[in-house]
């Protein structure tokens, strides 16, 4: 069973993951409003992935005899100035999550909670992928600039997520 301090920290991470899910869902809604359905699809898929991360921690805490205490989820922004600015926010959010996962991992190691440390290794690897994906999309958006045709091509590409 994780210590009370580690249990609290995991509960906070569950909240962060749910917030990330909520943020991506808000981004999906924004993309739909500006008729970028492929971006919207990508964001909705990302929202579902973040929710799955929350549930993985939720289930893990229960499996170790801990208590899950759900916390309030803040309202995410609903407007973004552009797809590029939105993905800058995606990267920033993922970097914050990475930092917090690293803190949890360090706490688990410091407390000698090897099971939690092993569970968190999965999240560490996942965050490498999340940051790389955000960086890759940002690089493409930088190349696209203000070219509508290129943005629509990206929209089509992002819309194919999960269909490959």
Whether 55 is covered by a domain: the verdict is: yes
For the cut 80, the answer to whether the pLDDT of residue 163 exceeds it is: no
Q: Which residue, chain included where needed, has tokens 């990330």? A: 20
Does the residue 65 lie in any domain? Answer: yes
Tell me the CATH number at 81: 1.20.1260.10
**Radius of gyration, alpha carbons of the chain:** 17
Separation between Cα atoms, residue 90 and residue 43, nearest integer Å: 10
Domain holding 45, by residue range, is 4-159
Tens of pLDDT, residue by residue over 55-84, are: 999 999 999 999 999 999 999 999 998 999
Q: Among residues 44, 146, 38, which one has the least CA distance to residue 85?
A: 146
The answer, as to whether pTM is greater than 0.95, is: no
Let me know if 27 is exposed, middle or buried by CB neighbors in 10 A (0-12, 13-18, 19+).
Answer: buried
Q: Is 90 part of a structural domain of the chain?
A: yes
Higher local confidence (pLDDT), 101 or 164: 101
With respect to residue 68, please indicate whether it lies within any of the assigned structural domains: yes
What is the arithmetic mean of pLDDT over 134-148?
A: 93
107 within domain boundaries = yes
164 in a structural domain? no
Q: How many domains does the chain have?
A: 1
Q: How far apart are CA 46 and CA 14, in angstroms?
A: 16
């Amino acid at each position: 069973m994780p210590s009370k301090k580690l249990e609290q920290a995991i509960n906070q991470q569950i909240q962060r993951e749910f917030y990330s899910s909520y943020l991506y869902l808000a981004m999906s809604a924004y993309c739909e409003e500006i008729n970028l359905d492929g971006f919207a699809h990508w964001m909705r898929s990302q929202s579902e992935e973040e929710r799955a991360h929350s549930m993985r921690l939720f289930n893990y805490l229960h499996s170790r005899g801990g208590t899950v205490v759900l916390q309030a989820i803040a309202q995410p922004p609903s407007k973004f100035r552009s797809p590029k600015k939105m993905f800058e926010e995606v990267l920033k959010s993922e970097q914050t999550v990475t930092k917090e996962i690293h803190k949890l991992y360090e706490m688990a190691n410091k407390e000698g909670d090897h099971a939690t440390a092993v569970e968190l290794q999965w999240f560490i690897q996942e965050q490498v992928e999340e940051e790389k994906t955000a960086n890759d999309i940002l690089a493409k958006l930088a190349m696209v600039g203000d070219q509508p045709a290129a943005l629509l091509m990206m929209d089509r590409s992002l819309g194919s997520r999960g269909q490959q």
